[in-house]
Amino acid sequence: MSAGYGIGSIFRMELKRRRTLAIEIGMQNAGLGTTLALAHFGEKAAIPAAIFVFICIITASIMAELWQKRPAEPAKE
């Protein structure tokens, strides 16, 4: 997630896009790790990656909640 946000910052994306990129990259990497471990190493090797999937879901939910409390743009009156 940090890499996604950082890359968005490097490319000077607006805040909403950086946040989206952070969650998207974090979630994709978790699923990809599980799939690759199953394909190349077996079920036991996929366990840490599968656990990481749940960690990503939890951290993405927490980040979404925090970011919801800090809007990307100030509210217009």
What residue segments make up the domains of the chain, in order of their start?
2-69
**The two three-digit tokens of residue 52, written as one number:** 């990481």
Q: What is the pTM of this model?
A: 0.70
- Is 74's pLDDT higher than 70? no
Q: In this predicted model, which residue has the larger pLDDT, 31 or 7?
A: 7
* Neighbouring residues of 37: CB distance < 8 A, sequence distance ≥ 6: 45, 46, 48, 49
For residue 72, the model assigns a pLDDT of: 73
| Region 6-22 average pLDDT | 93
Q: What are phi and psi of 26, to 5 degrees?
A: -60, -45
- CA–CA dist 40, 29 (Å, integer): 16
Q: Which two tokens stand for residue 24?
A: 């998207």
Given a contact cutoff of 8 angstroms between Cβ atoms, the answer to whether 41 and 20 are in contact is: no
